[in-house]
A and B are shown apart, each in its own frame.
Chain A
Amino acid sequence: MQISVHFRVMRMRLVMFLFNKKKNFKMKMTYGEAIREALFKELENDQSVVLFGEDIQHNLYGYTYNLVNIFGKKRIINIPLSEAAVVGLATGAAMCGLTPIVDLTVANFLYVAMDQIVNMAAKINYMYNGQFKLPLTIMCSVFYNGSNAAQHSDRPHPIFMNVPGLKVVAPTCPQDAYSLLRSAIADENPVIYFSDRTLFYAEADVDVNCNIEIGQASVLAEGSGMTIVVISGCAQMALDLLPELANKNISAEIIDVRSLVPLDINTIKKSVRKTGRVVIVDTANKSCSAASEISSILAEGLFSALKAPIGIVACDDVPVPYAKNLELQIMPTKEKIFQKVISVMQYHK
């Protein structure tokens, strides 16, 4: 694992060097490598950036590969299993001029630090009336569809959408993983960055000079008959469906929200005004999900443009089971999205 990561990083840096000479900044990277590249760039550009994390110096998944050798243990810091105190410490350090990144690895571990995230990081800007900057990034990954069972498979982004003062991003491709992480680190507000492990080894071109601001949705495919709004790993499922939908003469427009807070509702509304039909796909549990929130906004503000009821495909409201067949049963799948799209298409007033 480490050796293959090593070769990939070496190759990446070599390609980067050659491309830089040609003033062309595009290169192939996996989603995980894109995260590493963003961390590397921010650490290289700004001495105030420090990276805290569990096993961050020798990271199992390779996304901090060799950073400790390049930037040293003063900046790449292994932490004790004290999620709450470390998030609080990073918050305090951010108030005093550093730019901390905390990697909590599994999204479920955010719950251990909940008081510091919700009562401190999220509220400091507001309750202290803007006296402090808070350039804090909290990174974690969602590990669903991998038989990781109930305590390591949550997709808790909607919980944090309900906490004013936190920005929340969920990139779905290597370019977004790279650019949104750089934007998160540069942001002067606390940002929670959810990477998606189902996408971790997907490879695509990344332009290392491409800046993506937090709060901009992306139109992954243009269409005229149906809007499919996707969140996190659901983007790939929807993209994979395009040929089948075309066979059914359904022209689908796919919108990846990318950022949940702030939510680019205008891009979604623009599409729904055009298509009149929408299915929203979310990895989170359905109740109070990002999907249900987007649905609520559309029902409230765009009712007259809708030709059919809004469709939602999300995870059933149960903890994630271990057995593979059971997990697949509760999670969004290509088939479930397909069925929902068909039923929304077939609805006529």
Chain B
Amino acid sequence: MCETQKFIDMENFEKISLLRKMIKIRCFEEKVAEYKLNGKILGPVHTCIGQEAIDVGVCSALSVHDYIVGNHRSHGYMIAKGAKINLLMAEIFGKSTGTNGGKGGSMHVSDISIGSLGASGIVGSGLPIACGAAFASQYKNDGKITCVFFGDGAVNEGAFHESLNLASIWKLPVIFLLENNGVAVTTVLEQVSASHDLYHRAKSYGISSKQIDGQNVEEVYYTVKSAIATIKEGKGAVLIEAKTFRFHEHQEGQAYARMSDVGYRDKHEVDYWIANKDPIKLFSNKLVAENVIATGEIKRIYAEENHNIESAIEYADISPFPCNEDASRNVFI
């Protein structure tokens, strides 16, 4: 998969669809950040603001039947793969109507109806699960692909290395989607990894890999399409390192907001990325320049998506909490 194969260009409506999905995720995440601050959301929430191009590029390239495995920062993948935002928001609010009946919360959102095999808050631990889903697909020959999302923090976990080796020796139909945002909570990659180009690590396991611009939704989309083609040829797993940037702190809320002043990363760099590398701005500008969409139309999309998110908030807010009996339900099936 050294070179991204050429695919027929997306139709205009498909490009607009990518833009709309990114806007939807941005609106959702901004609302989540707001409701964490006002205390409506109790538990930890990690937003993907700034990284939406990866969620949307990947999940738009996958089919509805393909599997995804998430991590602690999973709202974006879920929305991009087709999760209903009402149910997602209800889960984050801890309500019985949520994707997990209020028992998982933000870090464990899952919905098998859209191919989501859940999300793990233990960094790196989703990779073996994804290999298992891919093993099952290979065993049953059902043609499905599994994509697991993880960050640069995960590449120093043993599970990363063990999983790459398993995927390689068994030629599993899995995409390792490494979102390298350069920071794990407040520890920058430079402090914990001698190499900052993490896709090289895949080579020692015999897995083809590529580094791409994670802010460019089309590049993500076409790279994943190409990876899927490689996998369908029977060549086994692929690792994609998408370079990106976390616009917000590790988590939302008061406590983490304070971390932006402690100096673990350069403020100018943060400002630079927000001003110049916002994936939604970049793609909006491109589509406007190509006459695919008018600025007014983009504004209308924002208004519509914000309206939908308001409805999701209302739905989550008025939904009931789980009943007491639910506490002991589903320990076992």
Residues of A within 8 A of B (CB): 50, 74, 80, 82, 84-98, 100, 115-116, 119-120, 124-134, 164-165, 167, 188-189
Given A92-B135, A96-B136, A119-B122, are A85 and B127 neighbors across the interface (CB < 8 Å)? yes
Interface centre among A95, A128, A133 (most CB of B within 10 A): A128
Q: Is the CB of A96 within 8 A of B103?
A: no
How far, in angstroms, from A188 to B330 measured CA to CA in the complex?
Answer: 12
B118 interfacial contact with A, CB 8 Å: yes
Residues of B86-132 contacting chain A, CB below 8 A: 100-101, 103-104, 108, 110-112, 117-118, 120, 122, 125, 127-132
A sample of 14 cross-chain residue pairs with beta-carbon separation below 8 angstroms, ordered by A number, consists of A82-B162, A89-B131, A92-B130, A93-B132, A95-B117, A95-B129, A96-B133, A100-B132, A115-B122, A128-B108, A128-B110, A129-B103, A133-B333, A134-B333
B165 interfacial contact with A, CB 8 Å: yes
Residues of A within 8 A of B108 (CB): 127-128
Main secondary structure of the interface of B (DSSP, over half): helix
A-B pairs, top 8 by smallest CB distance, nearest first, are A92-B132, A88-B128, A85-B162, A96-B136, A82-B162, A92-B129, A93-B132, A89-B132
Q: Is the CB of A164 within 8 A of B100?
A: no
Residues of A within 8 A of B110 (CB): 127-128, 131
Q: Is the CB of A98 within 8 A of B333?
A: no
Q: Is the CB of B330 within 8 A of A126?
A: yes
Residue of B nearest to A124 (CB): B118
**Nearest CB in chain A: distance from B321 CB, A:** 14
Q: Is the CB of B125 within 8 A of A119?
A: yes
* Interface residue from B67, B104, B131 paired with A127 (Cβ < 8 Å): B104
Q: Is the CB of A88 within 8 A of B136?
A: no
User: Hey, what's the 0/1 contact readout for B27-67 against A, CB within 8 Å counting as 1?
Assistant: 00000000000000000000000000000000000000001
Residues of B within 8 A of A130 (CB): 329-330, 333
How far, in angstroms, from A120 to B121 measured CA to CA in the complex?
Answer: 10
A-B contacts besides A88-B159, A92-B130, A165-B332, 11 pairs, CB < 8 Å: A80-B165, A84-B158, A85-B159, A85-B166, A88-B127, A115-B159, A116-B125, A125-B332, A126-B330, A130-B329, A132-B118
Interface centre among B104, B135, B137 (most CB of A within 10 A): B135
* Interface residue from A89, A125, A128, A132 paired with B135 (Cβ < 8 Å): A89
Given A82-B162, A88-B159, are A93 and B139 neighbors across the interface (CB < 8 Å)? yes
Residue of A nearest to B110 (CB): A128
Q: Is the CB of B132 within 8 A of A95?
A: yes
* Interface residue from A80, A94, A129, A164 paired with B132 (Cβ < 8 Å): A94
Residues of A within 8 A of B162 (CB): 80, 82, 84-86
**Nearest CB in chain B: distance from A185 CB, A:** 15
Q: Is the CB of A98 within 8 A of B139?
A: yes
Interface centre among A89, A91, A100, A165 (most CB of B within 10 A): A89
Residues of B128-177 contacting chain A, CB below 8 A: 128-137, 139-140, 158-159, 162-163, 165-166, 169
* Interface residue from B67, B69, B166 paired with A82 (Cβ < 8 Å): B166
B194 interfacial contact with A, CB 8 Å: no
Residue of B nearest to A92 (CB): B132
B275 interfacial contact with A, CB 8 Å: no
Residues of A within 8 A of B67 (CB): 96
How far, in angstroms, from A86 to B167 measured CA to CA in the complex?
Answer: 11
How far, in angstroms, from A126 to B104 measured CA to CA in the complex?
Answer: 8
Q: Is the CB of A120 within 8 A of B120?
A: yes
B331 interfacial contact with A, CB 8 Å: yes
Residues of B within 8 A of A96 (CB): 67, 117, 132-133, 136-137
How far, in angstroms, from A86 to B69 measured CA to CA in the complex?
Answer: 16
Residues of B within 8 A of A80 (CB): 162, 165-166, 169
Q: Is the CB of A93 within 8 A of B128?
A: no
Residues of A within 8 A of B330 (CB): 125-126, 129-130
How far, in angstroms, from A269 to B52 measured CA to CA in the complex?
Answer: 58
How far, in angstroms, from A55 to B120 measured CA to CA in the complex?
Answer: 30
**Nearest CB in chain A: distance from B173 CB, A:** 12
Q: Is the CB of B103 within 8 A of A127?
A: yes
**Nearest CB in chain B: distance from A135 CB, A:** 9
Residues of B within 8 A of A189 (CB): 332-333
Residues of A within 8 A of B133 (CB): 92-93, 95-96
Residue of B nearest to A128 (CB): B110
Q: Is the CB of A125 within 8 A of B333?
A: yes
How far, in angstroms, from A188 to B331 measured CA to CA in the complex?
Answer: 12
